[in-house]
């Protein structure tokens, strides 16, 4: 992806596909997390979309951001404990299923924001309008995180529904860039954008190492993924006849912090095409992988400052120093919070 010659797309632009209603998306984002689909589902959608459009479209997709407007998990509602209404897809002609893994489902409404490059032939206003309409039409026939794209409900609020493709001002016009992003981000309200908070995970690991030098990143990730209630001794010393009393305090997270999968780590060497039985594509090299997790945060779009804050990029090239069997395929996001994890903890 994104390998072009000198005549290839080079003009920076932003493509917005607003308020996509998705039905029955996969809500089990990894073996140990559930909720909103993994961000890899959307970077995979971006790759599939670019292949559908082809190089003749004059547009290269660089990264994708997601704003969630509505989320309705398909779970049982009786009793205190909720369970997924799981399915196995797809259903074959005889009624049996090909899948061996059961899926939890969710209905949701999302806005997709693509960081793109345009060719000279697509810079005109009418050309950009036609290209945005074509992308929306292609997306309407695709699966998003395994879910089906549905038409808007007649009763839906009159939010902007037309796709837009706008040129981004040059790097030297930072004020123009800022004004453009502020205008676009207001159109994404109400909603929450998923951003990366790797810094929060690293800060929590440093805190844990103060009391346990053997603490690992997994310990820090688990500590951020649950409710932690700690016993705090009362300041006034008790009388000799009374036991020491404590107050149980539930730790509050700064912001809407969530554990998320961000990619995959290799478990095996890369096998040549067609050498692994049952692979979907016999013309592409194959490798077994496992999920990689980090910490994310849901942030209201009006708190973001630039397109870089919201866009996730597939990063498969910055770990070439690792052995082949340790290859890492992960998604990265450049969001930097105005409040550091140290300030948040105070």
> Can you give 175-190 as a three-state secondary structure string?
HHHHHHHHHHHHHCCC
Widest distance between CA atoms in the chain: 86
DSSP summary character for residue 294: E
Rounded CA gap, 172 and 176, in Å? 9
Contacts of 65 (CB under 8 A, 6+ apart): 112, 113, 114, 115, 193, 194, 307, 310, 311, 312
Contacts of 309 (CB under 8 A, 6+ apart): 193, 195, 333, 334, 335, 336
Q: What does the pLDDT read at residue 7?
A: 57
Q: What does the pLDDT read at residue 241?
A: 62
Contacts of 308 (CB under 8 A, 6+ apart): 334, 335
Nearest to 312 by CA among 198, 175, 159: 198
Q: What does the pLDDT read at residue 76?
A: 85
Mean pLDDT by 10 residues, the chain (346 residues): 57 94 90 91 94 89 95 84 78 75 87 93 89 93 91 72 88 85 92 95 94 93 90 70 78 87 90 88 89 95 93 75 74 86 61
Q: What does the pLDDT read at residue 17?
A: 95
Contacts of 81 (CB under 8 A, 6+ apart): none
Tell me the three state secondary structure of residue 312: strand
Rounded CA gap, 20 and 243, in Å? 59
Instruction: Let me know: does 103 contact 87? Beta carbons within 8 Å.
Output: yes
User: Which residue is listed with tokens 């993994």?
Assistant: 38
According to DSSP, the β-strands at 105-118 and 11-26 are: antiparallel
In the chain the first and final C-alpha atoms are separated, in Å, by 44
| Sign of torsion over alpha carbons 281, 282, 286, 289 | positive
Q: What does the pLDDT read at residue 2?
A: 46
């Amino acid at each position: 992806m994104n390998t072009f010659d000198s005549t290839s797309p080079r003009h920076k632009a932003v493509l917005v596909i607003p308020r996509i209603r998705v039905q029955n998306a996969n809500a089990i984002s990894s073996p140990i997390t559930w909720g909103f689909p993994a961000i890899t589902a959307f970077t995979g959608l971006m790759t599939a979309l670019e292949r559908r459009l082809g190089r003749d479209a004059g547009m290269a997709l660089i990264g994708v951001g997601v704003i969630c407007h509505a989320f309705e998990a398909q779970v049982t509602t009786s009793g205190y404990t909720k369970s997924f209404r799981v399915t196995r897809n797809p259903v074959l002609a005889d009624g049996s299923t090909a899948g061996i893994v059961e899926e939890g489902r969710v209905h949701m409404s999302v806005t997709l924001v693509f960081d793109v490059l345009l060719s000279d032939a697509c810079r005109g206003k009418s050309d950009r309008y036609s290209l945005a309409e074509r992308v929306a039409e292609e997306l309407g026939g695709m699966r998003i995180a395994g879910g089906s794209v549905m038409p808007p409900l007649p009763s839906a609020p009159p939010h902007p529904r037309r796709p837009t493709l706008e040129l981004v001002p040059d790097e030297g016009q930072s004020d123009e860039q800022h004004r453009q992003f502020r205008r676009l981000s207001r159109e994404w309200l109400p909603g929450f954008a998923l951003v990366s908070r790797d810094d929060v995970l690293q800060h929590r690991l440093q805190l844990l190492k103060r009391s346990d030098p053997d603490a690992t990143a997994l310990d820090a990730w688990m500590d951020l993924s649950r409710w932690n209630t700690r016993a705090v001794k009362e300041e006034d010393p008790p009388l000799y006849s009374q036991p020491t009393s404590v107050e149980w305090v539930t730790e509050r997270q700064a912001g809407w912090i969530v554990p998320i999968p961000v990619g995959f780590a290799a478990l095996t060497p890369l096998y040549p095409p067609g050498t692994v039985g049952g692979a979907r594509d016999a013309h592409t090299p194959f490798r077994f992988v496992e999920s990689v997790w980090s910490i994310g945060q849901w942030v209201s779009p009006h708190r973001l400052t630039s397109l870089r804050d919201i866009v996730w990029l597939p990063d498969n090239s910055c770990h070439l120093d690792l052995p082949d069997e340790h290859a890492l395929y992960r998604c990265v996001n450049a969001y930097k919070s105005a409040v550091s994890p140290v300030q948040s903890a105070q």
